[in-house]
Chain A
Amino acid sequence: MSKFKKKKGSELPAISTASLPDIVFMLLFFFMVATVMRENNLKIENKLPVADQIEKLDKKNLVMYIYAGKPSSRYAASAGTQARIQLNDKFAEVSDIKSFVLAERAAKREEEVPFLITALKVDGDTNMGLVGDIKKELRDVQALKINYTTRQGEATQNLK
């Protein structure tokens, strides 16, 4: 009977994969947008202190970063154990800061230069001497807007 014969061909139809590209693209876009590219490979320890009187640093393109802290254990042999400054991907000396700031300024549009902020990402254990030296250099090149980057929390947590 032909009524029953038909059953033979009624296997499950293949699931349409037409939407798979959409899903993949969606994930792709999501990750593209949500990922913050790590600009610098940190060669130093960078455990930021905590503070609660903080402001957000919007406009990432107007921020230049200066890192400081003790070289992490991988680099301790070559860079020593004293706190060092890191600019971009390299260890730097205090005297390199001026040229770094000038280079950053040159890379920006002229009207953006007055809004440049220097974010100091300094490890909590660093001595103030180094930070003071950095600030002096920044003053000399008129990079006066600074931001001590911190984590959020009670200030008393800094004192253990």
Chain B
Amino acid sequence: MARRSAPEVNAGSMADIAFLLLIFFLVTTTIDTDRGISRKLPPPLDETIEPPILKQKNIFVVELNKNNDLLVEEEPMELKDLRAAAVAFLDNGGGTGDEACNYCKGEKSSSSSDNPEKAVISLRNNRETSYATYIAVQNELVAAYTELRNREAESLFGKTFTQMKEDLKDVNYSGSKERLKDDIKKVQLMYPEKLSEAEPKK
């Protein structure tokens, strides 16, 4: 047979392929977002309001000196032990009667906090403390709260607190978001984040 010139390749579908690729990349690429520890600052002080009086045993003093040494309740401590110490303090539940804490699993020591609602962590730093150390300590303290919240959320709702928060952001979450929000609030109230920061010392 006679050979004809090769027919031109039909390029009409090329655009479709291109768009397919485009959409594929659009979907798979995550634009990197900033991440960090979210905190809420206390509102400016109102001079007229008397600060509430706290019992000494309900305060967990964490101090950072200018050499980046960690002092917890006036005892030196390694950073890796801080989380466990904070958990032990928050979860102590040493109160009796009205102040008893029925979900705490701590030692119920009378010299530590009454219940998580009363327990305050006081973080004090020096002006010379390095920011990296401060963040490390903040991170451990937040982790202590998260650990306790995870535990309670697990026993109440069968999933961790972190998972609940993720679900809240997830658009494909099947359950009711309103209920999820209430549940998160409930867990948060069991272990309210009471992290006070004193003015840094000179």
Contacts and interface: CB of A to CB of B under 8 A. Distances in A.
B37 interface: yes
B52 interface: no
Contact of A124 (B4, B32, B131): B131
Contact of B135 (A19, A132, A138, A148): A148
Report, as a range, how many residues of chain A touch the other chain.
35 or more
A51 interface: yes
A26 B16 CA distance: 11
A125 B131 contact: yes
A156 B29 CA distance: 31
B4 A26 contact: no
A57 B34 contact: yes
B35 A56 contact: yes
A51 B37 contact: yes
A60 B33 contact: yes
Interface string A15-27: 1101100110110
Contacts of A9: 5
Nearest to B143: A53
Given A19-B18, A54-B35, A128-B200, A49 B135 contact: yes
- Which DSSP category, helix, strand, loop or mixed, fits chain A's interface? mixed
A55 B200 contact: no
Given A34-B25, A49-B136, A54 B36 contact: yes
Interface residues of B, number: 56
B127 A146 contact: no
A3 B39 contact: no
Interface string B1-41: 01111101101001100110110011001011111111111
Interface of A: 3, 6-7, 9-13, 15-16, 18-19, 22-23, 25-26, 29-30, 33-34, 36, 49-58, 60, 63, 117, 119-120, 122-129, 131-132, 135, 138-140, 142-152, 155-156, 158-159
Interface of B: 2-6, 8-9, 11, 14-15, 18-19, 21-22, 25-26, 29, 31-44, 64, 68, 79-80, 125-136, 138-140, 142-143, 146, 169, 199-200
24 contacts: A10-B3, A10-B5, A10-B6, A13-B8, A22-B14, A23-B18, A34-B29, A36-B31, A54-B35, A122-B131, A126-B131, A128-B64, A129-B200, A139-B41, A142-B43, A144-B40, A146-B38, A147-B34, A147-B37, A148-B37, A148-B39, A151-B35, A155-B135, A155-B136
